[in-house]
Amino acid sequence: MNILHFIQAFFGDSAHWHGYDGIPTRFGEHLHYCLEALALAAAIGLPVGLVTGHYGRGGNTLALIATAGRALPTFGLLVLLVLLVGFGMLPVMVPLIVLAVPPILVTTYEAVRSVDPSPVDAARGMGMPESRILFQVELPVALPLILGGLRSAAVQIVSTATIAAYIGLGGLGRYIIDGLYQRNYEKVVGGATLVAGAALATLAVFWAVGRFAVSPGVRRSA
């Protein structure tokens, strides 16, 4: 038996496609955790990154915050929060947000700060207010890099949301954790394949968003 046999056996079993432990349900739960965590992390990281990047200040502080965020072990934080506040969504969301904010924050800051200054000066010379400079000049030019930061945050969230299963919640991690405890290797490998597939799908989604959202002029020069 090799990995491919396990994968085939897992996906071939129709019992894995129905009910509360079926792939559609678990996938839906996983997607739900990921979208919520990404939305919250973006709500924190994007505005701060955009504003600090626009004024080009606070880079060292942001680097410190990012290092601290990366240094906190995601899994440890999860277990600790469960012990402190009990089971629920909060112990899953906080580690995922801590994981996702640093890449969003740092890339957004760097992206906005490194925008070519001449169009920004031109916009300012034309009398654009700072907010319009940020949203109509800097943001479109910086968008590919910002999307890159969001992408790596999203991929990390998708792969790490598996730990939610360790504290009894659902998601695709269910298969991995249950399979490990039941010594059901087929289930473990099936779950791992699903999560890896979801992560790759995330890459594809961001690629598509990039094609759609980045203006053609910016894409050509990149």
Partner 1 sequence: MSGYFDIPSDLQHSYLGLIGLHLREALIPVLAGLLLSLPVAQLCVRFRWLYPPVLGVTTVLYAIPSLAFFVVLIDYTGQSETTVMIPLAVYSLVVLVPAIVDGVRSVPQETLDAATAMGFGPVRRYLQVQLPIAVPAIIAGLRVATVSSISLVSVGMLIGNQGALGNLLNDANIYHRPELAVTSVVTTAALAILADAALALVRVVLTPWMPRKGATR
Q: Count interface residues toward partner 1 (CB under 8 A).
A: 43
Query: Distance (Å, rounded) from C-alpha 116 to C-alpha 123?
Result: 12
The residues, ordered by sequence, that sit 6+ positions from 107 with a Cβ below 8 Å of its Cβ are: 49, 145, 146, 148, 149, 150, 152
CA distance 151 to 38: 10
Any residues with CB less than 8 A from the CB of 119 and at least 6 apart, and which? 137, 141
The answer to whether residues 165 and 174 touch, using CB atoms and an 8 Å cutoff, is: yes
- State which of residues 79, 128, 145, 209 lies at the interface with partner 1 (CB under 8 A): 79
Task: Build a one-symbol-per-residue string for 89-128: x at contacts with partner 1 by CB under 8 A, - elsewhere.
Answer: ----------------------------------------
Residue 45 is a binding residue for partner 1 (CB under 8 A): no
Q: Select the span of 35-43, 119-127, 130-138, 169-177 touching partner 1 (CB under 8 A).
A: 169-177
Task: Single out the segment in contact with partner 1 by CB under 8 A; choices: 15-23, 129-137, 160-168, 209-217.
Answer: 160-168
Q: Which residue has the tokens 């934080």?
A: 77
Query: Which residue intervals of 23-89 are DSSP H helices?
Result: 23-55, 59-71, 74-85
Compare residues 94 and 133 and give the one whose CB is closer to partner 1.
Answer: 94
Provide CB contacts within 8 A for 116, sequence distance 6+: 141
- 203 binds partner 1, rule: CB under 8 A: yes
Can you tell me whether residue 128 is helix, strand or coil?
coil
Q: Is 76 in the site for partner 1 (CB under 8 A)?
A: yes
Judged by beta carbon, residue 133 or residue 175, the one nearer partner 1 is: 175
Per CB under 8 A, residues contacting partner 1 are 2-3, 60, 63, 67-68, 70-77, 79-80, 83-84, 152, 155, 158-160, 162-163, 166, 173, 176-177, 179-180, 185, 188-189, 191-193, 195-196, 199-200, 202-203
